[in-house]
Amino acid sequence: MAYRLSGWFRSSLKKRPVLTNTAVYAAFYTAAELSQQTFNKIYSTDKPEIDFAAAGRIVTVGSCLYAPTLYHWYKFLDRKFVGTTLKVVNTKVLCDQLIMTPILLAIFYTGMGIVERREDVFSELKAKYWRTFIANQAYWIPAQTVNFLLMPPNLRVVYVASASFIWINVLCFIKRQTTDKK
């Protein structure tokens, strides 16, 4: 059974890579957001209920934004910078963290502001961007080094989706923090 599922997954990655990667990302976003909400329900003093609508918004913005963008971004990086030498890997990591990450984080917070129907869709971006960016760098620089050094190109987005489970928990935690302006 597991072998057939594995074969189906590999075949799907070849035939429909963007759709397959989006499904993987959606699964990890769902698991991470619900685990973050469950953690809050258990350990928070106000014991908030699980908010499936909020989870749906995060999953929609996150998976529809990250999976297709990263698929094409990694293909571009692999074409532009070929190989796994330390210089090539460092170049890919720096490009990823200094070009794509700022864009993705800005779109994430702005997109969330839109789907949450905030009056000021940029308020959360302004309040949380730098904290998120610094946390992102601390986590993703080592993770992306492993990605570009050891992972075959066809598994890059799947690897990132897997590593994202931890990162999405951090992102959801930061997202959930209150700001002065709501």
Q: What's the CA gap between 95 and 157, in Å, rounded?
A: 16
Q: Which residue type sits at 160?
A: V
Cβ pair 167, 140 in contact under 8 A: yes
pLDDT digits (tens, 9 = 90+) for 121-174: 999 999 999 999 999 999 999 999 998 999 988 888 778 878 888 888 888 888
Q: Which domain holds residue 38?
A: 16-166
User: Which CA distances in Å does 27 have to 13, 102, 124?
Assistant: 15, 24, 25
Q: Using one digit for the tens of pLDDT, what is the confidence trace for 22-69?
A: 888 888 888 888 998 898 888 888 888 899 998 899 888 888 888 899
In the predicted model, is pLDDT for residue 5 greater than 70? no
Is residue 6 domain-resident?
A: no
**Residue 3 domain-assigned?**
no
| pTM exceeds cut of 0.85 | no
For every residue of 148-163, DSSP letters joined together read HHHS-GGGHHHHHHHH
Half-sphere exposure of residue 36: CA atoms within 13 angstroms, side-chain side: 25
Number of domains in the chain: 1
Domain assignment present for residue 141? The answer is yes
State the burial class of residue 178 (Cβ atoms within 10 Å of its Cβ: 0-12, 13-18, 19+). exposed
